[in-house]
Structure 1
Amino acid sequence: MLPNPNVRRLDEFQVFSFQFQVFTKAVSVEIRILSPDDLPATVSLLAYLNPKVPEEIVRQRFETILSEHPHYQAYGAFSDQTLIGVAGAWIATKVWCGLYLEVDNLVIVPEHRSSGVGTLLLNALEGRAKELGCNILVLDSYVSNSPSHRLYHRLGYEIRGFHFVKELEDIAH
């Protein structure tokens, strides 16, 4: 079981610090809202998650999200000042559930997968959702991503429906 985070205020950002074991080496992980300085590393991770989309398009789309959508925040997991995981969070309201937080683009660098980093990010987002008064957390996951499905089930997420997509044009460009 992972320890509870120590939370401290840093300017306007809330920072979560965790200690946990990865293999036999102690690793310190900090979860915080991403800053503009984190953009290059963030884009690399998002491009890894979306291999059919050129990295420049990933960068443009992510910059658009950050600049045009005030109800979106991006969180990063850092180990030794290195970005090892990313998750976005959309805050919105729907008729059926009220205020909710949607987890978006959760990705962990391959060498830190199955080490607890994804759990830390999701727990941090759950804490943020509770602070904001959200009723539920939601997320989408690629059908083929069974390792992430096991994580989501373990953390209490349930499959409640289908996500239908109809492409109107080539979304990779």
Structure 2
Amino acid sequence: MAFVFKIIESNNINLVIPLVEKLNEYKISFEVLEQRFSEMIKQNYECAVIFDDDKVVGVSGLWYCTRHYSGRSVEPDHVYIDEAYRGKGLGKKFFKWIYDYVLSKGYEAVELNTYVSNHPSHKFYYNEGFKILGFHFLKKL
């Protein structure tokens, strides 16, 4: 299989919503996701995707910032690979592409959050060399 990794154009952002819906533990509606993604693409955000021909089979948002403890960093967000494509090394290739891409943009660190219940992702990120630095807290207002 020949996969294509790329940053999706902002006018095609809704192509990722079906995959994000599968990851969506909070059961946020398609309409709300559509509205939120339309706002996100106007912020310090890009969306990387994996194409298998014309089908989107993987997604990762990329949030950019500078932090006092890590410098210029990127945060992969809502990382998801279609179940039919898992276990084939695609995640490792995708993250290698992401590392190379953000290094070319001058970024020096990658940090992310993952759901506590998502044990397969924990193993993947450990194997990628990530270290746990803290806890992520959320309070809805």
- TM-score normalised by length of structure 1: 0.75
**Higher helix proportion (structure 1 or 2):** 2
* Residue in 1 that maps onto 2:30: 55
Confirm or deny: 8 A CA contact 1:87 1:121 kept in the other structure. Answer: no
Relative to 1, partners in 2 of residues 1:37 and 1:114: Cα closer, same or farther, differing over 3 Å?
Answer: farther
SS of match in other structure, 1:134: coil
Q: How many equivalent pairs are there?
A: 140
Deviating above 4 A after TM superposition, structure 1's stretches of 4 or more consecutive aligned residues are: none
1:132–1:37 distance in 2 versus 1, CA, 3 Å: closer
Cα deviation digits, residues 47-97 of structure 1 (max 9, x gap): 11115111111111011101x21x211011011221100011111011122
Equivalent residue number for residue 72 of structure 1: 45
Please say if 1:130 is aligned against 2:103. Answer: yes
Give the structure, 1 or 2, with the largest relative contact order (CA under 8 Å, sep 6 or more): 2
Measure the CA separation in 1 of the matches of 2:70 and 2:99.
16
Amino acid at match of 1:45: L
Gaps of 5+ in 1: 1-26, 169-173
Task: Give the alignment partner of residue 96 of structure 1, picking from 37, 47, 69.
Answer: 69
Do residues 29 (structure 1) and 3 (structure 2) align?
yes
Q: State which structure, 1 or 2, has the greater radius of gyration over its C-alpha atoms.
A: 1
- Aligned-partner SS, 2:111: strand
Question: Which of 104, 111, 116 is the aligned partner of 2:89?
Answer: 116
**CA-atom RMSD, angstroms?**
1.5
In structure 1, the residue matched to 2:56 is 83
Q: Which amino acid aligns with 1:39?
A: I
Give distance in 2, aligned partners of 1:136 and 1:77. Answer: 22
The letter for the 2-side match of 1:133 is: G
- TM-score if structure 2 supplies the norm length? 0.91
CA offsets, 1:109-162, max 9 Å, x none?
Answer: 111122222222211111122112222100110000011111111111111111
Offset, 1:36: 4.6
Contact 1:92 1:101 in 2 (8 A): yes
Identity of aligned residues (%): 30
Contact persistence 2:14–2:37 (CA under 8 A): no
**Cα distance in 2 between the residues matched to 1:62 and 1:87:** 13
1:37 Cα deviation after fit:
6.0
- Greater strand proportion: 1
Alignment partner, residue 13 of structure 1: none
Please tell me whether residue 161 in structure 1 is matched to residue 131 in structure 2: no
